[in-house]
Chains A and B, each alone.
Chain A
Amino acid sequence: MSRFNLNNSYKAIVIGGSAGSFQGITKILSQLPKTFPLPIIMCLHRLKHVRNGFVEALSIKSVFPVVEPHDKEQIKKGGVYLAPSNYHMSVELGNYFAMSTEEMLNNSRPAIDITLGTAAYVFREKLIGILLSGANRDGGMGMKHIKDKGGLTIVQEPTECMIDTMPKAAMALTKIDHVLKVDDIVSLINELDKYYR
């Protein structure tokens, strides 16, 4: 029996991160099982004026190509998506993305709370939310929304984080199911993969 409670037919994984999360994200993406069927939706804080380079940097080691979706692009099985710079990215009913240029939230655009919160609304208990290292509180409310809808919540072990403000904000706002090091997040994803074989 798995040490993670994964017997729920999950439909997507959302990952939020900021300062100090790049290494963790890269590790997760580089160790994805080749058969991994769930879409991975990432919202990471990034420079507003630098549109290029980030998705390419993430793609280098990723098992699947990372894409910045267009407005209204459908979310597909096995897709790995990154919120583009200077847009908020939300998940919409009907499983597609929508972009917005609304005000910054938590000093951020893209804001993790928006991607996580809208994903929670759409995927409800069939969503896994992961929040990594970061220097502000963005993402905390999003994790609370995921938990409130019955989804699975995971944060990076604060001691492993370069800056632990972000995971700690989530832990203060809601019950986090698993507090894990990145290596254990990778194991969890691998176990998850077995459920779909």
Chain B
Amino acid sequence: MELKNLSIESLIKKLGESPVFINEFLDELTVNVTEMFRDPSFWRVMRDEIIPGILLNHKTFNIWHAGCSSGEEVVSMAILLREMGIHNDVQLYATDLDTTILEKAKSATYSAKNMELNEKNYIRFEGKWTLKDYCKEENGRVTFDKGLLTNVTFRKHDLVTGDVFNKFDLILCRNVMIYFNQALQNEVLKKFHESLFKYGYLAIGSKESLIWCDVANRFLVVNNEEKVYKKIKD
């Protein structure tokens, strides 16, 4: 994207005039680097503790991937749920403010050169098979089985200005809020609190924290190492 000769005034003007330009600009501005099964220990905790905990009280439930980027985390979750044999019982919502990246997430197609790392993560996650069993490689790209995404609703949503649009049993928002200042993080965390059912779970990145935020005392730390919290108060 060429912005070199654009003054800040004309940039603002252009952003106001062209929705296409806004999308391109957002795509350029947002950080979209992610891995499948990033932090394998986190995914083990999901499989062995958190999701079994939800299943104790709910046969069906829903998950929100807030700031899903190119969808690696969504595909990881879908694989985890399938391996637990509960894939059809869970509805997933995947949102991002960048529509270009949402299209990529829907396609579940990634560069084959990222697969080495993804596969390593999956092995550390101790999954049942190999990631290769879930995808096909063609011309240096891998495409994951579309069946994994049948229960996923993708939608554009801005964490800062967007509404609370549903209630969830589990929200994952890992390494998204690191790009917000604390005031903004605080507002988003309030929104997550409102979007969770009582006793629902919130998972954030391993170097993020919510102990300092306004809604901190309405959450219980379930796993401090993996940064999983449970909503205990409305």
CB B210 to nearest CB in A, in angstroms, measures: 10
Q: Which of B40, B181, B182, B207 has the most CB of A within 10 A?
A: B207
Inter-chain CA distance A32–B129, complex, in Å, is 50
Chain B: CB-nearest residue to A109: B33
Interface residue count on the B side (C-beta < 8 Å): 22
Inter-chain CA distance A194–B178, complex, in Å, is 38
Q: Does A84 contact B (CB under 8 A)?
A: yes
Task: Choose one: A49, A69, A101; the contact of B175 (CB below 8 Å).
Answer: A101
Task: Choose one: B31, B41, B181, B182; the contact of A102 (CB below 8 Å).
Answer: B31
A70 touches B121 (CB 8 A): no
Q: A71-B178, A71-B205 are in contact. List 14 more A-B contacts (CB 8 A).
A: A49-B124, A51-B39, A70-B208, A71-B177, A71-B207, A71-B208, A71-B209, A72-B181, A84-B207, A98-B178, A99-B208, A100-B31, A101-B205, A103-B33
When A51-B206, A71-B178, A84-B206 are in contact, do A101 and B34 touch as well, CB less than 8 Å?
yes
The contact sample of 24 A-B pairs, CB cut-off 8 A, is A49-B120, A49-B121, A49-B124, A51-B41, A68-B207, A69-B207, A70-B208, A70-B209, A71-B178, A71-B205, A71-B208, A72-B185, A84-B206, A84-B207, A86-B39, A87-B175, A99-B175, A99-B178, A99-B208, A100-B179, A101-B31, A101-B175, A101-B205, A102-B33
Interface residue count on the A side (C-beta < 8 Å): 16
Chain B residues, CB < 8 A from A72 = 181-182, 185
Chain B: CB-nearest residue to A68: B207
Which chain A residues numbered 101 to 117 have a C-beta less than 8 Å away from chain B? 101-103
